[in-house]
Amino acid sequence: MPSGLPASEPTPASVLADGGAALSETQAERVREILRAYPVAVDLGERFQAAGFTLALVGGSVRDALLGRLGNDLDFTTDARPKEILKLVKGWGEAVWDVGIAFGTVGVRKHDLQIEITTYRSELYDRNSRKPEVTFGDTIEEDLVRRDFTVNAMAVRLPQVEFVDPHHGLADLAEGVLRTPGTPEASFSDDPLRMLRAARFAAQLDFEVAPEVVTAMTEMADRIDIVSAERIQAELNKLLLSAHPRKGLTLLVDTGLAARVLPELPALRLERDEHHRHKDVYEHSLTVLEQAIDLESTGEGDGKPDLTLRLAALLHDIGKPRTRRFEDGGGVSFHHHELVGAKMTKKRLRELKYSNELIADVSRLVELHLRFHGYGTGEWTDSAVRRYVRDAGPLLDRLHKLTRSDCTTRNKKKAAALARSYDGLEQRIGQLQEQEELDSIRPDLNGDQIMRLLGIKPGREVGEAYTFLLELRLEHGPMGEEAAAEALRTWWAERQG
Protein backbone atom coordinates (compact mmCIF):
# COMPACT_ATOMS: atom_id res chain seq x y z
CA MET A 1 0.00 0.00 0.00
CA PRO A 2 1.44 3.46 -0.96
CA SER A 3 2.59 5.60 1.90
CA GLY A 4 0.11 8.21 3.01
CA LEU A 5 -3.00 6.04 2.77
CA PRO A 6 -4.91 5.13 5.91
CA ALA A 7 -4.07 1.67 7.17
CA SER A 8 -7.73 0.72 6.81
CA GLU A 9 -9.26 2.32 3.72
CA PRO A 10 -12.75 3.60 4.45
CA THR A 11 -15.34 3.37 1.69
CA PRO A 12 -16.18 6.96 0.68
CA ALA A 13 -19.90 6.40 0.58
CA SER A 14 -21.23 8.59 3.38
CA VAL A 15 -23.04 11.74 2.27
CA LEU A 16 -22.51 14.75 4.49
CA ALA A 17 -25.43 16.84 3.19
CA ASP A 18 -29.14 16.13 3.08
CA GLY A 19 -30.46 14.95 -0.26
CA GLY A 20 -27.17 13.63 -1.58
CA ALA A 21 -26.75 10.25 -3.26
CA ALA A 22 -24.34 7.54 -2.17
CA LEU A 23 -21.50 6.52 -4.42
CA SER A 24 -21.74 3.28 -6.30
CA GLU A 25 -18.98 0.80 -5.58
CA THR A 26 -17.40 1.67 -8.96
CA GLN A 27 -17.41 5.37 -8.11
CA ALA A 28 -16.13 4.71 -4.60
CA GLU A 29 -13.32 2.68 -6.09
CA ARG A 30 -12.45 5.56 -8.43
CA VAL A 31 -12.11 7.92 -5.49
CA ARG A 32 -9.91 5.39 -3.74
CA GLU A 33 -7.94 5.08 -6.96
CA ILE A 34 -7.03 8.76 -7.07
CA LEU A 35 -5.92 8.57 -3.45
CA ARG A 36 -3.83 5.49 -4.22
CA ALA A 37 -2.34 7.26 -7.22
CA TYR A 38 -1.68 10.41 -5.22
CA PRO A 39 -0.97 9.43 -1.61
CA VAL A 40 0.18 12.99 -1.01
CA ALA A 41 -3.53 13.94 -0.89
CA VAL A 42 -4.10 11.94 2.27
CA ASP A 43 -0.71 13.01 3.61
CA LEU A 44 -1.72 16.64 3.13
CA GLY A 45 -5.08 15.98 4.80
CA GLU A 46 -3.35 14.54 7.84
CA ARG A 47 -1.05 17.56 7.97
CA PHE A 48 -3.99 19.99 8.02
CA GLN A 49 -5.95 17.85 10.50
CA ALA A 50 -3.00 17.79 12.91
CA ALA A 51 -2.96 21.60 12.80
CA GLY A 52 -6.69 21.75 13.60
CA PHE A 53 -7.95 22.49 10.10
CA THR A 54 -10.16 20.65 7.60
CA LEU A 55 -9.11 19.82 4.06
CA ALA A 56 -10.96 18.35 1.09
CA LEU A 57 -10.16 17.40 -2.46
CA VAL A 58 -12.65 19.40 -4.50
CA GLY A 59 -14.04 20.42 -7.86
CA GLY A 60 -12.56 19.16 -11.11
CA SER A 61 -10.21 16.78 -9.31
CA VAL A 62 -13.18 14.88 -7.84
CA ARG A 63 -15.21 15.12 -11.02
CA ASP A 64 -12.40 13.72 -13.15
CA ALA A 65 -11.67 10.96 -10.64
CA LEU A 66 -15.31 9.85 -10.86
CA LEU A 67 -15.07 9.94 -14.66
CA GLY A 68 -11.96 7.78 -14.53
CA ARG A 69 -9.68 10.59 -15.71
CA LEU A 70 -6.59 11.11 -13.57
CA GLY A 71 -4.45 14.20 -14.08
CA ASN A 72 -1.49 15.91 -12.45
CA ASP A 73 -3.44 18.87 -11.05
CA LEU A 74 -5.12 18.57 -7.67
CA ASP A 75 -7.41 21.19 -6.11
CA PHE A 76 -8.10 21.36 -2.40
CA THR A 77 -10.25 23.58 -0.20
CA THR A 78 -9.80 24.30 3.50
CA ASP A 79 -10.98 26.44 6.40
CA ALA A 80 -7.38 27.55 6.96
CA ARG A 81 -6.69 31.12 5.93
CA PRO A 82 -4.07 31.78 3.23
CA LYS A 83 -1.25 32.68 5.64
CA GLU A 84 -1.96 29.50 7.61
CA ILE A 85 -1.87 27.48 4.39
CA LEU A 86 1.54 28.92 3.58
CA LYS A 87 2.89 27.88 6.98
CA LEU A 88 1.59 24.32 6.55
CA VAL A 89 3.00 23.73 3.05
CA LYS A 90 6.39 25.40 3.44
CA GLY A 91 8.89 22.65 3.94
CA TRP A 92 6.36 20.08 2.73
CA GLY A 93 6.18 21.09 -0.91
CA GLU A 94 9.16 21.30 -3.21
CA ALA A 95 8.01 24.72 -4.39
CA VAL A 96 5.38 27.12 -3.11
CA TRP A 97 3.89 30.17 -4.83
CA ASP A 98 1.43 32.73 -3.59
CA VAL A 99 0.48 34.71 -6.71
CA GLY A 100 -3.19 33.89 -6.06
CA ILE A 101 -3.11 34.53 -2.34
CA ALA A 102 -5.31 37.63 -2.63
CA PHE A 103 -8.05 35.26 -3.80
CA GLY A 104 -7.23 32.72 -1.09
CA THR A 105 -5.15 30.35 -3.23
CA VAL A 106 -1.69 28.95 -2.51
CA GLY A 107 0.12 26.82 -5.08
CA VAL A 108 2.41 23.90 -4.26
CA ARG A 109 4.50 21.50 -6.31
CA LYS A 110 4.97 18.06 -4.77
CA HIS A 111 6.81 15.50 -6.86
CA ASP A 112 5.25 15.91 -10.33
CA LEU A 113 1.92 17.23 -9.02
CA GLN A 114 0.64 20.79 -9.27
CA ILE A 115 -1.48 21.45 -6.20
CA GLU A 116 -3.72 24.41 -5.39
CA ILE A 117 -5.15 24.93 -1.92
CA THR A 118 -7.86 27.55 -1.54
CA THR A 119 -9.57 28.87 1.57
CA TYR A 120 -13.34 28.33 1.65
CA ARG A 121 -14.70 31.37 -0.10
CA SER A 122 -17.50 33.12 -1.89
CA GLU A 123 -17.06 35.68 -4.62
CA LEU A 124 -19.23 37.97 -6.67
CA TYR A 125 -18.85 40.77 -9.18
CA ASP A 126 -20.04 44.28 -8.73
CA ARG A 127 -22.22 44.99 -11.74
CA ASN A 128 -19.70 47.43 -13.17
CA SER A 129 -16.50 45.75 -12.03
CA ARG A 130 -14.15 43.36 -13.80
CA LYS A 131 -12.72 42.04 -10.55
CA PRO A 132 -14.47 39.69 -8.13
CA GLU A 133 -14.96 40.55 -4.48
CA VAL A 134 -13.73 37.61 -2.41
CA THR A 135 -14.86 36.78 1.10
CA PHE A 136 -13.63 33.76 3.04
CA GLY A 137 -16.01 31.20 4.55
CA ASP A 138 -15.89 28.70 7.38
CA THR A 139 -17.64 25.59 6.02
CA ILE A 140 -17.27 23.44 2.96
CA GLU A 141 -21.00 23.77 2.28
CA GLU A 142 -20.56 27.56 1.94
CA ASP A 143 -17.71 26.94 -0.49
CA LEU A 144 -19.49 24.37 -2.64
CA VAL A 145 -22.62 26.44 -3.15
CA ARG A 146 -20.58 29.15 -4.86
CA ARG A 147 -19.07 26.68 -7.36
CA ASP A 148 -20.00 27.06 -11.00
CA PHE A 149 -21.71 23.70 -11.69
CA THR A 150 -22.95 20.85 -9.55
CA VAL A 151 -20.48 18.41 -11.12
CA ASN A 152 -17.74 20.70 -9.80
CA ALA A 153 -19.39 21.06 -6.39
CA MET A 154 -18.43 17.66 -5.00
CA ALA A 155 -15.64 17.07 -2.51
CA VAL A 156 -13.83 14.32 -0.62
CA ARG A 157 -12.89 15.15 2.98
CA LEU A 158 -9.39 14.13 3.92
CA PRO A 159 -7.85 12.20 5.52
CA GLN A 160 -11.05 10.35 6.46
CA VAL A 161 -12.17 10.04 2.79
CA GLU A 162 -15.80 11.14 3.14
CA PHE A 163 -17.76 12.11 0.05
CA VAL A 164 -19.59 15.47 0.13
CA ASP A 165 -22.31 16.17 -2.45
CA PRO A 166 -24.91 18.68 -1.24
CA HIS A 167 -26.06 19.68 -4.75
CA HIS A 168 -26.57 16.28 -6.39
CA GLY A 169 -23.50 16.61 -8.60
CA LEU A 170 -23.11 12.85 -8.70
CA ALA A 171 -26.53 12.44 -10.29
CA ASP A 172 -25.79 15.18 -12.83
CA LEU A 173 -22.44 13.59 -13.59
CA ALA A 174 -24.15 10.28 -14.32
CA GLU A 175 -26.72 12.07 -16.49
CA GLY A 176 -24.06 14.09 -18.30
CA VAL A 177 -25.70 17.45 -17.65
CA LEU A 178 -24.44 20.82 -16.46
CA ARG A 179 -26.54 22.55 -13.80
CA THR A 180 -25.68 25.28 -11.31
CA PRO A 181 -25.79 24.65 -7.52
CA GLY A 182 -28.18 27.57 -7.07
CA THR A 183 -30.17 29.41 -9.70
CA PRO A 184 -28.19 30.02 -12.90
CA GLU A 185 -29.15 33.69 -12.73
CA ALA A 186 -27.50 34.06 -9.31
CA SER A 187 -24.48 32.03 -10.41
CA PHE A 188 -23.89 34.05 -13.58
CA SER A 189 -24.49 37.30 -11.77
CA ASP A 190 -21.77 36.35 -9.27
CA ASP A 191 -19.32 35.58 -12.08
CA PRO A 192 -20.46 36.07 -15.71
CA LEU A 193 -17.47 34.09 -16.98
CA ARG A 194 -19.36 30.98 -15.86
CA MET A 195 -21.49 31.33 -18.97
CA LEU A 196 -18.40 30.71 -21.10
CA ARG A 197 -17.37 27.95 -18.74
CA ALA A 198 -20.67 26.21 -19.44
CA ALA A 199 -19.79 26.12 -23.13
CA ARG A 200 -16.24 25.05 -22.34
CA PHE A 201 -17.29 22.16 -20.09
CA ALA A 202 -19.90 21.06 -22.63
CA ALA A 203 -17.08 20.86 -25.18
CA GLN A 204 -14.57 19.20 -22.85
CA LEU A 205 -16.89 16.65 -21.24
CA ASP A 206 -19.40 16.24 -24.09
CA PHE A 207 -22.17 17.13 -21.60
CA GLU A 208 -25.51 18.75 -22.26
CA VAL A 209 -26.35 22.09 -20.65
CA ALA A 210 -29.61 22.16 -18.69
CA PRO A 211 -32.38 24.19 -20.40
CA GLU A 212 -32.67 26.67 -17.53
CA VAL A 213 -28.92 27.30 -17.75
CA VAL A 214 -29.16 27.93 -21.51
CA THR A 215 -32.05 30.33 -20.91
CA ALA A 216 -30.06 32.27 -18.33
CA MET A 217 -27.03 32.41 -20.63
CA THR A 218 -29.21 33.86 -23.38
CA GLU A 219 -30.93 36.41 -21.17
CA MET A 220 -27.73 37.49 -19.39
CA ALA A 221 -25.29 37.43 -22.33
CA ASP A 222 -24.60 41.15 -21.97
CA ARG A 223 -23.13 40.51 -18.49
CA ILE A 224 -20.06 39.00 -20.14
CA ASP A 225 -19.03 42.54 -21.10
CA ILE A 226 -17.62 43.19 -17.62
CA VAL A 227 -15.22 40.22 -17.81
CA SER A 228 -11.65 40.97 -18.84
CA ALA A 229 -10.38 39.95 -22.28
CA GLU A 230 -7.67 37.82 -20.68
CA ARG A 231 -10.20 35.66 -18.80
CA ILE A 232 -12.38 35.34 -21.89
CA GLN A 233 -9.39 34.32 -23.98
CA ALA A 234 -8.41 31.62 -21.46
CA GLU A 235 -11.89 30.06 -21.63
CA LEU A 236 -12.00 30.23 -25.43
CA ASN A 237 -8.62 28.51 -25.60
CA LYS A 238 -9.80 25.66 -23.37
CA LEU A 239 -12.96 25.32 -25.44
CA LEU A 240 -11.08 25.28 -28.75
CA LEU A 241 -8.53 22.78 -27.46
CA SER A 242 -11.24 20.43 -26.20
CA ALA A 243 -12.41 17.19 -27.76
CA HIS A 244 -15.74 18.63 -28.96
CA PRO A 245 -15.25 22.35 -29.77
CA ARG A 246 -18.24 22.46 -32.14
CA LYS A 247 -20.55 21.74 -29.21
CA GLY A 248 -19.26 24.67 -27.17
CA LEU A 249 -19.06 27.08 -30.09
CA THR A 250 -22.61 26.29 -31.15
CA LEU A 251 -23.82 27.02 -27.63
CA LEU A 252 -22.00 30.37 -27.62
CA VAL A 253 -23.57 31.33 -30.94
CA ASP A 254 -27.08 30.14 -30.04
CA THR A 255 -27.11 32.03 -26.73
CA GLY A 256 -25.76 35.29 -28.16
CA LEU A 257 -22.52 35.11 -26.18
CA ALA A 258 -20.41 34.70 -29.30
CA ALA A 259 -21.85 37.96 -30.65
CA ARG A 260 -20.17 39.68 -27.69
CA VAL A 261 -16.85 37.84 -27.47
CA LEU A 262 -16.25 36.56 -31.02
CA PRO A 263 -18.80 38.36 -33.23
CA GLU A 264 -17.14 37.27 -36.46
CA LEU A 265 -18.35 33.71 -35.82
CA PRO A 266 -22.15 34.26 -35.78
CA ALA A 267 -21.68 36.72 -38.65
CA LEU A 268 -20.77 33.69 -40.79
CA ARG A 269 -24.42 32.63 -40.69
CA LEU A 270 -24.98 34.43 -43.95
CA GLU A 271 -28.57 34.85 -45.03
CA ARG A 272 -29.07 32.30 -47.75
CA ASP A 273 -30.82 33.65 -50.81
CA GLU A 274 -33.98 32.01 -52.06
CA HIS A 275 -32.08 30.01 -54.70
CA HIS A 276 -29.55 28.62 -52.16
CA ARG A 277 -26.67 29.65 -54.35
CA HIS A 278 -24.01 29.37 -51.64
CA LYS A 279 -23.25 27.14 -48.70
CA ASP A 280 -23.63 28.10 -45.04
CA VAL A 281 -20.21 29.56 -44.23
CA TYR A 282 -20.75 29.06 -40.49
CA GLU A 283 -21.35 25.32 -40.81
CA HIS A 284 -18.52 25.08 -43.32
CA SER A 285 -16.13 26.73 -40.85
CA LEU A 286 -17.07 24.34 -38.04
CA THR A 287 -16.54 21.41 -40.39
CA VAL A 288 -13.13 22.77 -41.43
CA LEU A 289 -12.23 23.03 -37.74
CA GLU A 290 -13.19 19.40 -37.14
CA GLN A 291 -11.29 18.23 -40.21
CA ALA A 292 -8.21 20.18 -39.16
CA ILE A 293 -8.37 18.51 -35.75
CA ASP A 294 -8.40 15.12 -37.49
CA LEU A 295 -5.12 16.07 -39.23
CA GLU A 296 -3.25 17.22 -36.12
CA SER A 297 -1.37 13.96 -35.80
CA THR A 298 -0.22 14.00 -39.45
CA GLY A 299 2.81 15.67 -40.98
CA GLU A 300 4.92 17.36 -38.33
CA GLY A 301 2.13 17.16 -35.75
CA ASP A 302 2.39 15.20 -32.55
CA GLY A 303 -1.35 14.70 -32.16
CA LYS A 304 -1.65 17.33 -29.44
CA PRO A 305 -4.28 20.05 -29.86
CA ASP A 306 -2.86 22.90 -31.96
CA LEU A 307 -4.39 26.25 -30.97
CA THR A 308 -2.85 28.09 -33.94
CA LEU A 309 -4.28 25.63 -36.46
CA ARG A 310 -7.67 25.49 -34.75
CA LEU A 311 -8.02 29.28 -34.62
CA ALA A 312 -7.02 29.56 -38.28
CA ALA A 313 -9.53 26.88 -39.27
CA LEU A 314 -12.33 28.58 -37.36
CA LEU A 315 -11.54 32.08 -38.63
CA HIS A 316 -10.31 31.40 -42.16
CA ASP A 317 -13.50 32.65 -43.84
CA ILE A 318 -14.48 35.53 -41.54
CA GLY A 319 -13.82 37.96 -44.39
CA LYS A 320 -16.67 36.53 -46.46
CA PRO A 321 -19.57 38.55 -45.01
CA ARG A 322 -17.78 41.82 -45.80
CA THR A 323 -16.80 40.77 -49.33
CA ARG A 324 -19.98 38.99 -50.45
CA ARG A 325 -21.27 40.19 -53.82
CA PHE A 326 -24.20 38.90 -55.86
CA GLU A 327 -23.02 38.70 -59.45
CA ASP A 328 -24.97 39.04 -62.66
CA GLY A 329 -26.24 35.63 -63.67
CA GLY A 330 -26.96 34.48 -60.15
CA GLY A 331 -23.47 33.81 -58.77
CA VAL A 332 -22.04 34.88 -55.43
CA SER A 333 -18.44 36.04 -55.02
CA PHE A 334 -16.17 36.74 -52.07
CA HIS A 335 -13.22 38.37 -53.81
CA HIS A 336 -10.17 38.96 -51.59
CA HIS A 337 -11.96 37.60 -48.52
CA GLU A 338 -8.69 36.02 -47.42
CA LEU A 339 -6.99 39.44 -47.22
CA VAL A 340 -9.94 41.07 -45.49
CA GLY A 341 -10.20 38.06 -43.17
CA ALA A 342 -6.51 38.29 -42.21
CA LYS A 343 -6.99 41.92 -41.12
CA MET A 344 -10.14 41.05 -39.19
CA THR A 345 -8.34 38.16 -37.53
CA LYS A 346 -5.55 40.44 -36.34
CA LYS A 347 -8.04 42.92 -34.92
CA ARG A 348 -10.11 40.34 -33.06
CA LEU A 349 -7.15 38.44 -31.63
CA ARG A 350 -5.55 41.69 -30.47
CA GLU A 351 -8.75 42.61 -28.64
CA LEU A 352 -8.68 39.19 -26.98
CA LYS A 353 -5.09 39.87 -25.86
CA TYR A 354 -3.40 37.03 -27.73
CA SER A 355 0.37 37.10 -28.12
CA ASN A 356 1.86 38.93 -31.09
CA GLU A 357 3.39 35.69 -32.34
CA LEU A 358 0.10 33.80 -32.34
CA ILE A 359 -1.71 36.73 -33.97
CA ALA A 360 0.89 36.85 -36.74
CA ASP A 361 0.75 33.09 -37.35
CA VAL A 362 -3.05 32.77 -37.38
CA SER A 363 -3.60 35.82 -39.59
CA ARG A 364 -0.89 34.61 -41.98
CA LEU A 365 -2.62 31.24 -42.34
CA VAL A 366 -5.94 32.99 -42.99
CA GLU A 367 -4.25 35.13 -45.64
CA LEU A 368 -2.67 32.12 -47.36
CA HIS A 369 -5.52 29.61 -47.14
CA LEU A 370 -6.67 30.19 -50.73
CA ARG A 371 -3.23 30.26 -52.33
CA PHE A 372 -3.34 26.58 -53.29
CA HIS A 373 -6.46 27.07 -55.39
CA GLY A 374 -4.33 28.80 -58.00
CA TYR A 375 -2.44 25.54 -58.42
CA GLY A 376 -5.12 24.03 -60.63
CA THR A 377 -4.04 20.68 -62.02
CA GLY A 378 -0.37 21.18 -61.31
CA GLU A 379 0.71 23.85 -63.78
CA TRP A 380 2.62 25.90 -61.19
CA THR A 381 6.21 26.55 -62.11
CA ASP A 382 9.03 25.62 -59.76
CA SER A 383 9.24 29.34 -59.03
CA ALA A 384 5.62 29.41 -57.86
CA VAL A 385 6.22 26.40 -55.63
CA ARG A 386 9.27 28.08 -54.11
CA ARG A 387 7.25 31.21 -53.39
CA TYR A 388 4.47 29.15 -51.79
CA VAL A 389 7.00 27.58 -49.42
CA ARG A 390 8.76 30.90 -48.80
CA ASP A 391 5.52 32.71 -47.98
CA ALA A 392 4.35 29.96 -45.63
CA GLY A 393 7.72 29.74 -43.89
CA PRO A 394 7.53 27.75 -40.63
CA LEU A 395 3.74 27.58 -41.04
CA LEU A 396 3.95 25.29 -44.09
CA ASP A 397 2.85 22.14 -42.28
CA ARG A 398 -0.12 23.95 -40.75
CA LEU A 399 -0.97 25.47 -44.14
CA HIS A 400 -1.02 21.96 -45.63
CA LYS A 401 -3.52 20.88 -42.98
CA LEU A 402 -5.68 23.99 -43.24
CA THR A 403 -5.84 23.77 -47.02
CA ARG A 404 -6.79 20.10 -46.98
CA SER A 405 -9.38 20.76 -44.26
CA ASP A 406 -10.97 23.54 -46.32
CA CYS A 407 -12.47 21.00 -48.71
CA THR A 408 -15.97 20.25 -47.40
CA THR A 409 -17.71 19.46 -50.68
CA ARG A 410 -20.06 16.47 -50.70
CA ASN A 411 -19.04 15.80 -54.30
CA LYS A 412 -16.70 12.84 -53.81
CA LYS A 413 -15.22 13.17 -57.29
CA LYS A 414 -14.35 16.82 -56.75
CA ALA A 415 -12.97 16.14 -53.26
CA ALA A 416 -10.77 13.33 -54.57
CA ALA A 417 -9.46 15.55 -57.38
CA LEU A 418 -8.55 18.31 -54.92
CA ALA A 419 -6.79 15.81 -52.65
CA ARG A 420 -4.79 14.40 -55.59
CA SER A 421 -3.83 17.89 -56.68
CA TYR A 422 -2.58 18.79 -53.22
CA ASP A 423 -0.76 15.46 -52.99
CA GLY A 424 1.02 16.50 -56.16
CA LEU A 425 1.95 19.90 -54.75
CA GLU A 426 3.35 18.34 -51.58
CA GLN A 427 5.38 15.89 -53.65
CA ARG A 428 6.86 18.73 -55.70
CA ILE A 429 7.67 20.65 -52.53
CA GLY A 430 9.41 17.58 -51.15
CA GLN A 431 11.45 17.13 -54.33
CA LEU A 432 12.53 20.77 -54.41
CA GLN A 433 13.33 20.70 -50.69
CA GLU A 434 15.71 17.81 -51.28
CA GLN A 435 17.41 19.70 -54.11
CA GLU A 436 17.42 23.26 -52.83
CA GLU A 437 16.83 23.45 -49.05
CA LEU A 438 13.57 25.36 -49.54
CA ASP A 439 13.09 25.80 -45.81
CA SER A 440 15.87 28.40 -45.78
CA ILE A 441 15.74 30.07 -49.19
CA ARG A 442 18.31 32.84 -49.43
CA PRO A 443 20.27 34.51 -52.25
CA ASP A 444 23.49 33.00 -53.57
CA LEU A 445 25.39 36.02 -52.19
CA ASN A 446 25.18 37.42 -48.67
CA GLY A 447 25.31 41.06 -47.58
CA ASP A 448 29.07 41.15 -47.11
CA GLN A 449 29.66 39.70 -50.57
CA ILE A 450 27.24 42.22 -52.10
CA MET A 451 29.07 45.15 -50.49
CA ARG A 452 32.50 43.90 -51.58
CA LEU A 453 31.34 43.21 -55.13
CA LEU A 454 29.66 46.60 -55.60
CA GLY A 455 32.03 48.61 -53.43
CA ILE A 456 29.25 50.03 -51.27
CA LYS A 457 28.69 50.48 -47.54
CA PRO A 458 25.79 49.20 -45.41
CA GLY A 459 22.54 50.93 -46.30
CA ARG A 460 19.36 50.81 -48.33
CA GLU A 461 21.12 49.80 -51.56
CA VAL A 462 22.44 46.60 -49.95
CA GLY A 463 18.88 45.61 -49.03
CA GLU A 464 17.68 46.34 -52.57
CA ALA A 465 20.46 44.24 -54.04
CA TYR A 466 19.68 41.42 -51.63
CA THR A 467 15.99 41.54 -52.65
CA PHE A 468 16.97 41.43 -56.33
CA LEU A 469 19.10 38.33 -55.76
CA LEU A 470 16.37 36.69 -53.66
CA GLU A 471 13.88 37.15 -56.50
CA LEU A 472 16.38 35.54 -58.89
CA ARG A 473 16.80 32.65 -56.47
CA LEU A 474 13.05 32.13 -56.21
CA GLU A 475 12.60 32.35 -59.97
CA HIS A 476 15.50 30.18 -61.11
CA GLY A 477 16.62 28.17 -58.12
CA PRO A 478 20.27 28.00 -56.99
CA MET A 479 22.51 29.90 -59.45
CA GLY A 480 25.92 29.65 -57.87
CA GLU A 481 28.04 32.58 -56.71
CA GLU A 482 29.62 33.32 -60.11
CA ALA A 483 26.33 33.56 -62.01
CA ALA A 484 24.73 35.53 -59.20
CA ALA A 485 27.65 37.98 -59.15
CA GLU A 486 27.39 38.53 -62.91
CA ALA A 487 23.64 39.14 -62.65
CA LEU A 488 24.20 41.56 -59.77
CA ARG A 489 26.82 43.54 -61.71
CA THR A 490 24.44 43.86 -64.67
CA TRP A 491 21.61 44.98 -62.40
CA TRP A 492 23.89 47.52 -60.68
CA ALA A 493 25.18 48.93 -63.95
CA GLU A 494 21.65 49.44 -65.23
CA ARG A 495 20.79 51.27 -62.01
CA GLN A 496 23.79 53.53 -62.31
CA GLY A 497 23.28 54.15 -66.02
Query: What is the rounded average pLDDT of the residues 477-487?
Result: 82
The rounded mean pLDDT for the chain is 86
Given this model, what pLDDT does residue 176 score? 96
Residue 440 scores a pLDDT above 80? no
User: How far is the C-alpha of 185 from the C-alpha of 142, rounded, in Å?
Assistant: 18
Tens digits of per-residue pLDDT, 167-218? 999 999 999 999 999 999 999 998 999 999 999 999 999 999 999 999 999 9
Best-predicted range by mean pLDDT among 4-18, 85-99, 376-390, 460-474?
Answer: 85-99
Tens digits of per-residue pLDDT, 214-237? 999 999 999 999 999 999 999 999
Given this model, what pLDDT does residue 21 score? 58
Q: Which range (132-141, 283-292, 299-308) has the least confidence?
A: 132-141
Given this model, what pLDDT does residue 277 score? 46
Query: What is the rounded average pLDDT of the residues 138-163?
Result: 92
Given this model, what pLDDT does residue 480 score? 81
Given this model, what pLDDT does residue 435 score? 67
- With 0.85 as the threshold, say if the pTM is over it: no
Q: How confident is the model at residue 12 (pLDDT cuts 50, 70, 90)?
A: very low
Query: What is the rounded average pLDDT of the residues 419-446?
Result: 78
3-state secondary structure the chain: CCCCCCCCCCCCCCECCCCCCCCCHHHHHHHHHHHHHCCHHHHHHHHHHHCCCCEEEECHHHHHHHCCCCCCEEEEEECCCHHHHHHHHCCCCCEEECCCHHHCEEEEEECCEEEEEEECEEEEECCCCCCEEEEECCCHHHHHHCCCCHHHCCEEEECCCEEECCCCHHHHHHHCEECCCCCHHHHHHHCCHHHHHHHHHHHHHCCEECHHHHHHHHHCHHHHHHCCHHHHHHHHHHHHCCCCHHHHHHHHHHHCCHHHHCCCCHHHCCCCCCCCCCCCHHHHHHHHHHHHHHCCCCCCCCCCCCHHHHHHHHHCCCCHHHHCEECCCCCEECCCHHHHHHHHHHHHHHHCCCCHHHHHHHHHHHHHCCHHHHCCCCCCCHHHHHHHHHHHHHHHHHHHHHHHHCCCCCCHHHHHHHHHHHHHHHHHHHHHHHHHCHHHCCCCCCHHHHHHHHCCCCCHHHHHHHHHHHHHHHHHCCCCHHHHHHHHHHHHHHHHC
Residue 312 scores a pLDDT above 90? yes
